[in-house]
Structure 1
């Protein structure tokens, strides 16, 4: 099972490290290894959320996610994206940007750093919306019940998550965006950049999430009319809803945009370690492969059903990452802190799930997915 799930990741790791050794010697080898670990630690919460969505898709679309999706994730976000942001921010053509990345690494890093405000604003708003929509939804199982219950009640207010996101964006633009200052005769004011990028992130979330939700809702209606097939699927242990067609396509699109947003901090954080685009692509690409493999492992093992708070922990990590991205518009946050926050939250949710399972077994209570069952845990 491990080899079947992680085989490609192991192979890519070996090839990537050999390529790094040939390209940059032992220094390059070490940099790629560090970048791989950085990407995995920063993106583990991505894998948990991906698994929650991927388990709803049929086998065909799961394969699409693991083939075409990998190409988009590895080559699109980890290789092409760093070049694109430089090209857009500096007004360069794609070929010029690639030439700059390969032959003038210091100038390339300077341009990427200058584009950080727009990247952080876009990614921060997209991830913030994911967190808010999750936390405001009334769920049967609650992890941190003392905060999730009142927030679920507040979530009944229409468009509350959008309003809060816009307020956060406005505060970020006013107080976190670098303000206008005179420097060599030019003005540098990121307020408008932060606002426009944040609105773009919000619109992207609403459009992609809205379309995927619409088609998933349509499929739910069809499933209700096929109650007998549903019950058979339940008895066989298979997911009740297996998305296909348009529903699966928009879910796939949602997953790719989500992965892109998670990649922002990894790509930007990589510049703190190296400004060599080749080593960066190798290291982040290896890490992205493991994120995909972890996603598949979680789906095939049914881990999310066994450890019911994992999804909660991942979304809290998303919320923390959104906050960190917005803070980095003005202040520097160490990548170690970013990765550690996600690991701690997911580890905590995993341990809470283990305690819940033990308590349910000890009490003879079946884990029926209700909030009453979750009371057996928790201390949360």
Structure 2
């Protein structure tokens, strides 16, 4: 099971590191390895959240996520995305941007750094919407009841998540964006840029998540009708089909996953410039890391880990909330990538530990036969 799920990741790692060693020597080998570890540490919460969406998709779309999806993740976000940023900010074509990255790496890095406020605003608001919609939803299991109970009540108000997100954007634009960090330690007023990019992030979430939810509901309705008509259809020599609806639902869930992955990758791409400005080293190292994130997502789905460890999704979404805040703060102040990675891993680790405790308590209660009333098990950390 482990080899079948992570086999491609292991193979890409070997090929990538060997290629780095052949073409760029030990320096390239070391930097590619470091970038791979950086991407994995920053994106573990991404894998957990992705698994929550991917488990709703069939085996075919899981394969699409691992094949076409990884091409988008590696070549789209880890290679093309930085080039597009430079092309837009410098007003040059993509070919000229690649030449700039190869011939003038310092200038290339400067342009990407100067574009960071808009990137952080877009990604931060998209991730903040994911976090808010999670904590505002009423759930059977509550990891931090003292916080999640009042938030779930607040979530009953229409468009509560949008209102809170826009308030956070307004606060960021008025307190942080007017003195946004630029290359070389300079600052510039990026209020308008941050507002525009932040609103675009919220709108992107609403469109993609809204379409995903709509077609997912259609799929569930179709599956119910299919179950009711199954016996009659078999007698008639045909099977009721929900392929069209399933295809649409899966497509928009796939699109949602790709936008989600893109938002998670912002901090990894920007953070990679603290290590190197060589675009091929970045693409190779971050691409290897992205492979492991994809494989880990599928592993979590196939093993049913999210169902077994009830608070794991909670920890991942709280990590998303922290990452969203860090992205917004980073518009003005540089946040070390170690803080981002450690905070996410710590929250997921705590949620895993809480899940283990809760499972043990449930097992102990079950073995007692329920003859005695047991005290409530605290779900929080």
Q: TM over 0.5, yes or no?
A: yes
> Over residues 244-272 of structure 1, what are the superposed CA-to-partner deviations in whole Å (9 max), with x where a residue is unaligned?
21011000000000000000000000000
Query: Within 5 A, what are the aligned runs for 1:61-140?
Result: 61-140=61-140
C-alpha distance in 2, partners of 1:142/1:153?
13
Number of the residue aligned with 1:316: 318
Number of the residue aligned with 1:353: 355
**Are positions 1:163 and 2:139 aligned together?**
no
Change (3 A) 1:37 1:363: same
C-alpha distance in 2, partners of 1:101/1:177?
27
**Are positions 1:247 and 2:249 aligned together?**
yes
Q: Is the 8 A contact 1:355 1:377 kept in 2?
A: no
> Over residues 155-186 of structure 1, what are the superposed CA-to-partner deviations in whole Å (9 max), with x where a residue is unaligned?
001001101110111111111114499xxxxx
Number of the residue aligned with 2:266: 264
C-alpha distance in 1, partners of 2:30/2:282?
12
Number of the residue aligned with 1:376: 377
Q: Is the 8 A contact 1:142 1:374 kept in 2?
A: no
Provide the secondary structure at the position in 2 that maps to 1:357. Answer: helix
Number of the residue aligned with 1:177: 177
C-alpha distance in 1, partners of 2:218/2:286?
37
Number of the residue aligned with 1:273: 275
C-alpha distance in 1, partners of 2:229/2:312?
29
TM-superposed deviation, 1:217: 1.3
Number of the residue aligned with 1:221: 221
TM-superposed deviation, 1:302: 0.6
TM-superposed deviation, 1:379: 4.5
Query: Within 5 A, what are the aligned runs for 1:264-303?
Result: 264-303=266-305
Structure 1 segments of 4 or more deviating over 6 A? none
C-alpha distance in 2, partners of 1:355/1:303?
15
Q: Is the 8 A contact 1:143 1:374 kept in 2?
A: no
**Are positions 1:16 and 2:22 aligned together?**
no
Number of the residue aligned with 2:54: 54
TM-superposed deviation, 1:63: 1.1
C-alpha distance in 1, partners of 2:301/2:378?
24
TM-superposed deviation, 1:89: 1.3
Aligned residue-pair number: 360
Provide the secondary structure at the position in 2 that maps to 1:83. Answer: helix
TM-score of the aligned structures, taking structure 2 as reference length: 0.90
C-alpha distance in 2, partners of 1:5/1:246?
26
TM-superposed deviation, 1:19: 1.4
> Over residues 216-250 of structure 1, what are the superposed CA-to-partner deviations in whole Å (9 max), with x where a residue is unaligned?
111222234355699xxxxxxxxxx9982101100
Provide the secondary structure at the position in 2 that maps to 1:362. Answer: helix
TM-superposed deviation, 1:375: 4.6
C-alpha distance in 2, partners of 1:165/1:178?
19
- For the aligned residue pairs, the C-alpha RMSD in angstroms reads 2.3
Change (3 A) 1:229 1:15: farther
Q: Unaligned 5+ residue runs, structure 2?
A: 182-186, 231-241, 369-373
Aligned match for 1:331, one of 316, 330, 333? 333
Change (3 A) 1:379 1:108: closer
Q: Unaligned 5+ residue runs, structure 1?
A: 182-186, 231-240, 367-372
Number of the residue aligned with 2:184: none
Provide the secondary structure at the position in 2 that maps to 1:244. Answer: helix
Number of the residue aligned with 1:235: none
C-alpha distance in 1, partners of 2:85/2:352?
36
TM-score of the aligned structures, taking structure 1 as reference length: 0.91
